Amino acid sequence: MAKNGVDGVYNADPKKDKTAVKFDELTHRDVISKGLRIMDSTASTLSMDNDIDLVVFNMNEAGNIKRVVFGEQIGTTVSNNL
């Protein structure tokens, strides 16, 4: 899931809160229970129910799409099984 200028999932908006903490890994259930707004709740539930892993990363950084495709750990991984 490519984001515009944000390099992963945080506990608060990093553009507004300098103390925001980035998560390296989360479960889909964490995203829903913590109310993290990386996508709408229906998309979160569908991803969880269909066992679709996500990598949330900054699309504005050159080479990031290639890095994700080749499995490099960048951004935040969201999955059912961590």
Per residue in 22-34, pLDDT (tens digit) is 999 999 989 988 8
Q: Which residue from 59, 55, 48 is spatially nearest to 77, judged by alpha carbons? A: 55
Q: Is the pTM of this model over 0.95?
A: no
Contact 76, 55 (CB under 8 A): yes
Contact 79, 27 (CB under 8 A): yes
* Domain hosting residue 27, numbered range: 2-79
- Give the CA angle between residues 79, 4, 80 to the nearest 5°: 5
**How far apart, in whole angstroms, are the C-alpha atoms of residue 21 and residue 13?**
9
Residue pLDDT, tens place only, 1-27: 888 878 999 999 888 999 999 999 999
Count of domains for the chain: 1
Name 30's Cβ contacts closer than 8 Å, sequence gap at least 6.
23, 36, 78
